[in-house]
Each structure stands twice: as C-alpha cells, then as structure tokens.
C-alpha cells in the first residue's frame, strides 16, 4: 500500500516532464500507474493487510494503513476508473491545451490521495488525505482558470468541502480523545458513547455529507461541472464524492444506532434523492442532468450504507459499484458529445443516435443501469436496496415506510431523467420546450430556437470519435452489463463487508429472485418514471425555481460574511498603525493582569543578577532604549536600538549560552545592515512636521507593556511544579542525536519539527518581502559586472565590480579589506556549520556568517558585486534548502524510522582519523542554505533593487554605487 502511494507521488512529479516530451500521449504511460495498482488490489482482495510506519508514537500519530473488503471496493473503483479516465484524456485534450502537464500531475496525485484516504486506519491521516483531495479538486475544477465560471466553481467547491472538513477534524479530535485511540479499527471494535461522542459523530457526518454533496450543501457539485469532463467523470462520479459515502459506510457498523445518526443520514439522504432528481428533469445541459442525478444517487447511497443492516450494507456497496460504472461512463459520453458536436444542450442535439451508434449504445447501457433496468448491475443493486429497506427492522414501522416511500419516489425520478438524458442526446426529435424567460442560456453556443428532425441534424456539426476516445465509456458500460449478468461472482467479493454488521442472515445478490413484491415495486417505478418523462414539460426550469436556489443562498452567505468582516475591521482597524498597536498592547496588559489577579496563587522570587557585570549591561541597555525615543536622527536611533540587541547577546554569554550569544550577535549585525539599507531612501533626520511631543498615554502604555511582560516571565518561571527537563537534555542530545552541543541537537534533531516549521515561515516571509519590493515580478539573480553598460574588462580592481562604484562612494580601503577578509569569513562560516553539532555554531550561525560575508561584498562593491559573489537566484537557494530539510524528514520514513530521526555513521579514515557523521547534518545544511538565501533575497530586494531605482531617479547622493 505504501508503495502505491509513493508510485503515485513519483508519477505526479514526472507527469509535467512526460507531457512536455510526449504531449497528450503521456497520459497512456501515466495510466499504467493506477492500472498496475488496480492489479495489486485484485490480487490481494481477500487478504486483509495492515501497514504501520512510525511517525510520532508517543502521541499516537503514525502512518497506519488498512486494506479490507470496503477499502478494496473503493480502491478498485478509484484506480481502475482512474486509469480509464487517463486513457480518455489522451484523446480528449489537444497538445496545445494550457497547463496540460500540471493537469496530468494533479489527476494522478488525486488518484493517490483517494487511495490513501480509503486505506487510512488512522483518522488523522485520513483527514490529511481528505484535505489533499479537497485541494486537488480545487485545482482540477479550476483548470480553465481564464474562465470566470471555472474560478467560481473551484472556489465554491473549496470553501464548502473545506468547511465540512474542518467540522470533521473537530469530530475526529473529540472522538479520538473519547476513545483513547485515533485508529478506526479500535473505534469500530468498541465505540464509545456519551454526549461528546454524539456531537463528534454529528461533526463527522457534516464533513461526510458535505463531501458527498448532500442537500443543503449540494450546490457545489453542479457548479463544478465547469471543470473538464474527465474531472467530472472521475471526481464527481467515481472518486471524490464517494469519500463521504465511504466514511459513512466505514462508521456505520459502530454508530448506526447512535441517536444523531439516522435523523441526519436518512433525512438528508432522502431529501437529496428527491430534490436533485426533480432538478435533473428541469435542466437542459446534459452535464447538469448527470450532475443533479449524481446528487440524487449520492443521497440514495448514503441512505443505504447508513441504514445499518447487513442487507442494506450489501445493497449499498453494490450500488456504489454500479453508480461508479454507469455515471462515469455517462459523463465520458457527454464529453465525447461536447467534443464532437460543440454543445451539451439537449434541445439542440438531434440525430446522434444514427450518426454515432456505438456511442448511443454505450449511453443506453449505462442509462439502463442508472434507471435500474435488467440485466444491468443497477437493477441488481436497486432490487437489493428495495428489499433491504422493506426488511429494515432497525427502524420503526412509520420511519421504515417513510424511507421506503422516499426511495421509491427517488427511483421514479431516476427513471425519468435517465430517459430524458438518452432521448435528449441521441434521438431524432422536435423542439424541446423553450426555457422560461430569465433562464440562463448555455455558454457553449448562442441561444437559439432549435429546429426539428433532419434540418436540426444538418445544422449540428459532428466529429466522430476514434476508437481510443470511445474505449473508456464502452468498457465501463460493458462492465456494468457483465456484473449484472454475474451477480453471484460480485456477491462473493462484496459480502465480507456486509457481514461486519450484526443482523439476520444475508440473501445473495441475484438477477432474478422470482415474482416478489419487490419486482412489482420495480415495475411500478419504471411505469411512473416513464410517465414523469412524458410530463417533463411540467418541470421546465424557470427564472424563479420552485424549490429555491442554493447558489443564491451561497452568494448571500458570502456577502453577509464580507459585510461582517468589513464592519469588524472598520471598527478595530481604522488604518492607523499607532491605534492598531495600542489595541494589541492594551489587550496584552489588561487580560493577563486580570487573570493573574484572579487566579494566581504562586509567589514570585527574583534574583536580579548573578554578577555586577550583568547589572551594568542591563543599565546600558535601558539607557540606549530610552535614547532611541528621543533621538531625531534615524541612523542614530537604529544604532542605539542595536546596542540593546548586542547587550542581550552579552547577557546570554554571561549566562553560559555561547550559541545564543553568537546567534544574537550575528542577527543583530545583519538587522543593522538591513535597517541601513532601508534608511537610504529616507531623509537623515525626522522631519519637523513628523515630530511628536511627549505623550503621557504612550509612555504609560510602553511602561505597562514592559512591566507586564517582565511580570509574566517571572510568574511563568515560578509556576513550574514538575521537575525540569533541562538537566536531561545534554545526555539525550548525545545519546539520541550524537552531538555535544545540546542547543544545535535540539534544533536539528530532538525538536527538528519546530525548526522545519520555522524555516518554512522564513521562506514564505522572504518570498513575501521580495514580491512586495519587486511588485510586478521577482528578479532572478543579482546583476553581474558584465551586465553593466560601464563594464570594461581591461580595468583591474580589487573586486570584480569595484570599478563600477562611483568615485564619490568608493572606498579603496574597504574594497581591499573585503578582498582579504571575505574568504576568511566564508571559511569561518563553513567551520561554524560543521562544528555546530559539538561546539557553538550550526547551520543557522554558519548561514548568518556567510550572509554577513555577502553583505560585506555588497557594501564594498555595490549591486554588481553581489552578483559576482553569488550569481544564483535567491529563490533557488531558498527552495534547495527547504527541499533538503523536508527531504531529510521524509527519507528516514523510507528506511522505516520516524521522520527526522538521525543515524550516526562512524568511520576511520587514513590520515584524517576517526570521523563521526550524523545525518542531521543534511537537515542543518538545509537550514544553512535557507539563511543564505534569505540574506541574499534581502540584499537583492532592499539593496540591489533599491540601488537600481535610486539610480534611475538620478539622485546625486546615490548615483553609481551602493549608497551605503
């Protein structure tokens, strides 16, 4: 199972390259990935398997996968139909389709994410894959990003299903806590009870029903028909929308008797079946007919798998298979029609049955299965479903009657829109009823009144599909027929899931059960369904739908949220930075003070200093901090603020923390340089009109903030009741991390997850700053000396770009010093990097040191010298560092170890001697590269970019050089 996930991830990564090399034919090669995975599923169908990969065992977060009958059913549908859809894509798209490689990668990744979802035994892992499918569906639906309809549909699907996913996450946390385990297998073996569990179950059902587009949150699925047809056939027929059905089917054996289960599942499922079935009789777009039909069928599936009896479970999984086969086939048929005729408007289509007989026969087979007509699989599943509902003793008689009546009425509507689909797409027909005034025309062609018969057929262009284009829908429809003719074979493979329910013995799936009451109901359903089709004019869509408009409700909700957000923002954020800061600081003062006054019982004891030197440093820091409030020279203010930072470094050193002191000194130096770079664009002194007199309120706020922070720190230290862990850290660092520098081992090993998150934030921050500075686009690498029009290769200089600095700004002493010192600083940087595991240093300190070396080159030689020092794109350095750090986290998983766990390698080499290497060094190298990339990005944006703009403005003070 893990191999299948990794293969899909690898295929997704190489898909863009494959499409670039082979064009749309690359889809054939990509189809081999889910096809081969399908073969594994079939070969291991009757062999339950488990996989556990240790992640964070102390808190129960591991990669736990489970393969059983229910997982096998969904896996085969996801992978098998996914392979056929990829084959279909090879003929659906043209080679000049925009972003085709990215689309291929997203589709393959979606197949892998769905496989992970249905095989996850850990509920937290299931949620991760759940949200991965949400994000990938957003990208796939919005593939045609230049179209407003696609963008709206993608955002709508993301917001609705994402909100449901958050509700589900809350339910997972509550349920996992109540059960003492996040494993589904543990949950199903002994389901907990109680009010909290009832709430958790309701939240899980909200997530499942949202994902499966159940009323009232169904509207995102018809909107998602703006996606390319392969996406509709795969995500919205066979894969994504089945996720909610799967989750309900997975939880039903344990929670079908929960008090919130049946009211939510059965009520909303039946409402979806009826309301969406009625809408399918109204719309005129073939794709929308299938979309609303999908919502209706999903409601039916949820009723069956959520009923909680063995017979209903067997009927439910049978209908899951049947629905995936016939609905995916019909969506692919619509794609061929749209591709060949240029329209999906059933009022404009006429005569395709004679012009495309194979396509017509395929659609008829799939539609017969959808309507529940023998000998298709849909009939087998529908008969089993009717029988299961009739015999559902788990329900009271009135409730059972209501559910049965809803299923029968929904099935009648299904027959009606099935006939309407086939007739509208393929028949020789006259004019369909005109849309009512105000109904929206389709986007494919201008609205026009269709003509009847041969004349309509002549006006309809048609490009016959090739054999490979037809293959996928034909195979799916044929599979539906074959499964219907061999129900006993299917019964043997689906039955193990149904047997997990407690209840009476199961009857077998069969094509013919004799003359039974269920058969009579089936005949009635078909007869009434034909009548509904003949009365279709009564259901014509109007400008004001009789049952309301969910899209308008969605838009109204978003407008209300926007209005509320604007009013809240207008109240607390009026565009004044001092006011916003004051609100934050006042909250910081009041809230902790009140809580400490009311609830704290801990005394505070303080030792002001260990030596007079600490007191002296503290006084200097306080004096310079006060000086920063009165100085009017910007550079002087920055320098005195810097003194407070250096003072903190001295305090760290006096307290025996050389690593913190070293890092503080390096960070403070770099910060000063950045301030200086920015201040070049400002006047040296604060203008008189910007000066403000002493304000007592600001002074009180500042004093209060400092006091509260100090008091909170004192109380936090005094509140400790347990034995501190710091005495154990040095031993743990050497035992587990192989290093004597406890701080560095903490950063790159013991607490490496924190570091990975922090460096990710650094990369995002660097990207954001550069994007703001460059506005229109990010530059690549900094310009080199040869890029300057003033470059003369015959001129000799201490620095490659030194001659390009204007004489007024050039310092020969600085250039000579830089030429001599730069290699030494870089060697020191490398030393800090390699020594950090056992001595002060590490990737962060080494990267900062290298950054200071680059800063020195820039200050001495200007923006062109920066390009000479490191002629690479800062974004590439940042990306390489993050990839290396994250790759180190993942690589240990491949070796069967927890992520970011370190291996210690010891070898003896001639001359060199005994060498000890810890694999955390690779993670530290990622940190090193990210820090270097961050500094380079800052120098490139706040330095070189600003130099260029100031030079263009022809400011005498900055012309020609770095200006620093």
Task: Work out the number of other CB atoms within 10 angstroms of the CB of residue 6.
Answer: 13
The helix or strand, by DSSP H or E, that contains position 605, with its residue range, turns out to be: none
Name the H helices within 391-465: 397-426, 453-459
d(CA 250, CA 756): 35
Half-sphere exposure of 934 (CA within 13 A, CB side): 25
- In sign, the C-alpha dihedral spanning 910, 915, 919, 925 is negative
DSSP string, 242-302: HHHHHHHHHHHHHHTTSTTHHHHHHHHHHHHHHHHHHHHTT--BHHHHHHHHHHHHHHHHH
The pLDDT, as a whole number, for residue 693 is 60
Could you tell me which residues are beta bridge partners of residue 56? Answer: 61
d(CA 41, CA 302): 25
d(CA 644, CA 619): 10
Residue with tokens 């074959």: 482
Give the SS3 label for residue 769. Answer: helix
The helix or strand, by DSSP H or E, that contains position 336, with its residue range, turns out to be: helix 310-341
- In sign, the C-alpha dihedral spanning 191, 196, 199, 204 is negative
In order of 104, 156, 238, 589, 676, the CA distances from 4 in angstroms are 17, 31, 19, 54, 53
CB 762 within 8 A of CB 936: no
CB 596 within 8 A of CB 715: yes
The helix or strand, by DSSP H or E, that contains position 191, with its residue range, turns out to be: none
d(CA 466, CA 358): 11
CB 186 within 8 A of CB 154: no
CB 56 within 8 A of CB 93: no
- With a CB cutoff of 8 Å and minimum separation 6, the contacts of 400 are 389, 390, 392
The pLDDT, as a whole number, for residue 18 is 92
Could you tell me which residues are beta bridge partners of residue 323? Answer: none
Q: Chain centroid to CA 748: how far? A: 26
Give the SS3 label for residue 122. Answer: strand
The pLDDT, as a whole number, for residue 794 is 65
In order of 9, 479, 643, 708, the CA distances from 41 in angstroms are 18, 17, 66, 62
Omega before 94 within 30 of 0, i.e. cis: no
Task: Work out the number of other CB atoms within 10 angstroms of the CB of residue 814.
Answer: 17
Could you tell me which residues are beta bridge partners of residue 67? Answer: 49
d(CA 365, CA 344): 20
d(CA 718, CA 926): 37
d(CA 902, CA 802): 45
CB 33 within 8 A of CB 85: no
Half-sphere exposure of 727 (CA within 13 A, CB side): 3
Using alpha carbons, select from 158, 393, 406 the residue that is nearest to residue 268: 406
d(CA 634, CA 615): 28
CB 176 within 8 A of CB 168: no
The pLDDT, as a whole number, for residue 692 is 61
The helix or strand, by DSSP H or E, that contains position 54, with its residue range, turns out to be: strand 49-56
The pLDDT, as a whole number, for residue 513 is 80
pLDDT < 70 positions in the chain: 58-60, 429-460, 505, 537, 539-549, 600-603, 681, 687-694, 770-783, 785-796, 808-809, 893-896, 942-964
Using alpha carbons, select from 893, 957, 669 the residue that is nearest to residue 53: 893
CB 847 within 8 A of CB 669: no
Residue environment code for 706-730, b if the CB has 16+ CB neighbours within 10 A, otherwise e: eebeeeeeeeeeeeeeeeeeeeeee
- In sign, the C-alpha dihedral spanning 948, 953, 959, 964 is negative
Structure token digits, residue 589: 């003062």
Structure token digits, residue 560: 């209300």
Contacts 24+ apart (CB under 8 A), 825-828: 825/849, 825/850, 825/852, 825/853, 825/856, 826/850, 826/853
In order of 349, 405, 635, 963, the CA distances from 956 in angstroms are 73, 86, 20, 10
The helix or strand, by DSSP H or E, that contains position 913, with its residue range, turns out to be: strand 913-918
Give the SS3 label for residue 21. Answer: helix
CB 649 within 8 A of CB 668: yes
CA torsion, ordered 65, 71, 72, 78, to nearest 10 deg:
-100
d(CA 645, CA 621): 8
DSSP string, 837-894: TTSS--HHHHHHHHHHHHHHHHHHHHHHHHHHH--S-HHHHHHHHHHHHHHHHHHHHH
Could you tell me which residues are beta bridge partners of residue 183? Answer: 122
Residue 924 burial (10 A CB sphere; 0-12, 13-18, 19+): buried
Using alpha carbons, select from 748, 686, 714 the residue that is nearest to residue 884: 748
Name the H helices within 486-543: 487-498, 517-534
Using alpha carbons, select from 466, 464, 460, 457 the residue that is nearest to residue 445: 460
d(CA 197, CA 131): 23
Residue with tokens 């289509």: 349
Residue with tokens 């957003």: 138
């Amino acid at each position: 199972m893990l191999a299948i996930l990794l293969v899909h991830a690898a295929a997704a990564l190489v898909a863009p390259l494959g499409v670039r090399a082979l064009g749309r034919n690359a889809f054939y090669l990509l189809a081999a990935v889910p096809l081969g995975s399908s073969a594994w599923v079939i070969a291991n169908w009757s062999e339950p398997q488990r996989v556990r990969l240790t992640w964070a065992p102390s808190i129960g977060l591991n990669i736990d996968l489970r393969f059983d009958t229910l997982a096998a059913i969904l896996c085969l549908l996801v992978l098998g139909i996914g392979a056929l859809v990829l084959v279909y894509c090879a003929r659906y798209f043209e080679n000049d389709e925009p972003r085709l490689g990215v689309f291929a990668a997203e589709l393959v990744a979606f197949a892998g994410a769905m496989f992970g979802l249905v095989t996850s035994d850990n509920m937290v892992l299931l949620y991760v894959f759940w949200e991965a499918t949400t994000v990938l569906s957003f990208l796939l639906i919005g593939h045609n990003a230049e179209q407003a309809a696609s963008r709206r549909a993608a955002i709508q699907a993301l917001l609705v299903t994402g909100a449901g996913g958050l509700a589900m996450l809350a339910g997972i946390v509550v349920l996992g806590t109540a059960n003492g385990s996040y494993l589904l297998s543990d949950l199903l073996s002994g389901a907990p009870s109680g009010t909290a569990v009832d709430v958790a179950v309701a939240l899980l059902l909200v997530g499942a029903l949202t994902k499966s587009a159940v009323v009232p949150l169904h509207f995102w699925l018809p909107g998602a028909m703006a996606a390319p047809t392969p996406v509709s056939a795969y995500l919205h027929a066979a894969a994504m929308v089945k996720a909610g059905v799967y989750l309900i089917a997975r939880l039903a054996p344990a929670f079908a008797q929960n008090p919130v289960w049946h009211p939510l599942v059965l009520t909303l499922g039946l409402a979806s079946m009826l309301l969406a079935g009625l809408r399918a009789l109204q719309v005129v777009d073939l794709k929308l007919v299938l979309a609303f039909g999908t919502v209706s069928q999903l409601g039916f599936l949820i009723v069956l798998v959520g009923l909680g009896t063995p017979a209903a479970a067997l009927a439910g999984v049978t209908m899951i298979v049947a629905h995936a086969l016939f609905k995916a086939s019909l969506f692919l048929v619509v794609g061929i029609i749209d591709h060949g005729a240029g329209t999906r408007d059933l009022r404009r289509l006429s005569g395709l049955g004679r012009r495309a007989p194979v396509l017509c026969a395929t659609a008829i087979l799939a539609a017969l299965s959808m309507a529940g007509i023998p000998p298709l699989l849909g009939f087998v599943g529908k008969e089993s479903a009717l029988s299961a509902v009739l015999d559902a003793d788990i329900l009271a008689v009135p409730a059972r009657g209501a559910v049965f009546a809803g299923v029968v009425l929904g099935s009648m509507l299904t027959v009606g829109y099935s006939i309407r689909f086939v007739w509208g797409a393929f028949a020789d027909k006259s004019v369909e009823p005109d849309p009512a005034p105000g109904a929206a025309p389709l986007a494919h062609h201008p609205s026009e009144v269709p003509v009847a018969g041969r004349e309509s057929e002549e006006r309809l262009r048609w490009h016959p599909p090739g054999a490979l284009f037809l293959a996928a829908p034909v195979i799916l429809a044929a599979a539906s027929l074959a499964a219907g003719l061999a129900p006993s074979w299917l019964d043997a493979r689906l039955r193990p899931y149904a047997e997990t329910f407690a209840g009476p013995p199961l009857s077998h799936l069969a094509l013919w059960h004799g003359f039974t009451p269920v058969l009579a109901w089936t005949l009635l359903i078909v007869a009434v369904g034909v009548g509904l089709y003949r009365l279709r004019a009564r259901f014509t869509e109007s400008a004001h739908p009789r049952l309301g408009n969910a899209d308008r409700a969605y838009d109204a909700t978003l407008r209300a949220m926007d209005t509320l957000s604007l009013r809240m923002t207008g109240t607390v954020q009026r565009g004044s930075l001092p006011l916003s800061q004051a609100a934050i600081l006042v909250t910081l003062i009041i809230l902790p003070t009140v809580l400490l006054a009311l609830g704290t019982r801990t005394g505070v004891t303080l030792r002001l200093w260990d030596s007079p030197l600490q007191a002296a440093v503290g006084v200097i820091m306080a004096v310079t901090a006060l000086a920063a409030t009165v100085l009017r020279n910007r550079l002087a203010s920055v320098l005195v603020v810097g003194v407070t930072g250096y003072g903190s470094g001295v305090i760290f050193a006096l307290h025996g923390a050389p690593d913190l002191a070293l890092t503080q000194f390096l960070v403070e130096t770099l910060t000063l340089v950045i301030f200086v770079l920015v201040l070049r664009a400002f006047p040296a002194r604060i203008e008189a009109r910007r000066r403000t007199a002493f304000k007592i309120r600001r002074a009180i706020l500042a004093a209060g903030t400092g006091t509260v922070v100090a008091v909170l720190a004192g109380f936090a230290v005094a509140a400790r009741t347990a034995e501190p862990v710091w005495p154990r850290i040095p031993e743990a660092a050497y035992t587990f991390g192989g290093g004597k520098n406890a701080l560095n081992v903490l950063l790159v090993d013991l607490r490496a997850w924190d570091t990975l998150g922090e460096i990710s934030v650094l990369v995002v921050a660097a990207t954001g700053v550069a994007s703001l500075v460059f506005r229109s686009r990010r530059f690549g690498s900094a310009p080199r000396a040869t890029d300057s029009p003033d470059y003369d290769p015959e001129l000799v200089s201490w620095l490659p770009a030194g001659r390009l600095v204007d004489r007024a700004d050039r310092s020969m002493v600085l250039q000579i010093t830089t030429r001599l010192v730069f290699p030494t600083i870089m060697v020191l940087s490398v030393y800090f990097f390699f020594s950090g595991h056992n001595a002060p240093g590490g990737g962060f300190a080494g990267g900062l040191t290298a950054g200071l070396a680059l800063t020195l080159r820039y200050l001495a030689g200007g923006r062109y010298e920066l390009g000479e020092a490191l002629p690479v794109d800062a974004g590439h350095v940042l990306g390489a560092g993050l990839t290396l750090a994250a790759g180190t986290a993942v690589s240990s998983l491949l070796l069967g170890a927890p992520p970011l766990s370190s291996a210690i390698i010891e070898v003896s080499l001639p001359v060199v001697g005994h060498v000890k290497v810890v694999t955390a060094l690779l993670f530290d190298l990622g940190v090193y590269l990210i820090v270097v990339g961050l500094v380079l990005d800052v120098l490139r944006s706040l330095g070189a970019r600003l130099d260029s703009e100031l030079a263009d403005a022809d400011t005498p003070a900055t012309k020609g050089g770095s200006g620093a």
